[in-house]
Amino acid sequence: MNRSIIRKAYRNAILEVFGCGDKELDAQLIKAVKEDIHLGDRAPGQWSPHSILEIYCENGIPNATDIHEWGPEPDWGIPEGGCHYNSDSWCKVDRIVNLLLEPVYGVKVYHEPWNGAVLNIHYS
């Protein structure tokens, strides 16, 4: 399987999940998906050279380890105890990528956080 196809699928899925669809507002994210998604064995950090991809989450791509919690904000309409896990959004990215890859190429992939700034993509 050509890993560049997987990289392109992740670029598109990340923009779909984390972007808003406005090129001006998404400019930093668009730049990051072009520059910060590397083939595993060619990635500058070499965190996991046996992975399909290394994705660096320091320049605009959200990482998978953050948890966002907030208290009640009546003026904003946020209920008490609101919480968002970035890993939930990354699972959504994986599902979008696998919707393309599995039926066409017969492969499935998943993300795995290496640390707070690096994600690795592997075959299932």
pLDDT tens column, 111-121:
999 998 999 99
Distance between CA atoms of residues 120 and 107, nearest Å: 16
Largest CA distance in the chain: 51
If you average pLDDT over residues 36-45, what whole number do you get? 96
Sequence-ordered list of residues with C-beta below 8 angstroms from that of 100, at least 6 positions apart, any chain:
9
pLDDT score for 10: 98
pLDDT score for 67: 85
**Parent domain of 119:** 3-123
Distance between CA atoms of residues 28 and 19, nearest Å: 10
Distance between CA atoms of residues 111 and 124, nearest Å: 10
pLDDT score for 117: 95
pLDDT mean across residues, the chain:
92
The count of structural domains within the chain is 1
Look-up of token digits 């950090």: 45
Dump pLDDT digits (tens) for 45-83.
Answer: 999 999 999 999 999 999 999 888 766 665 666 566 677
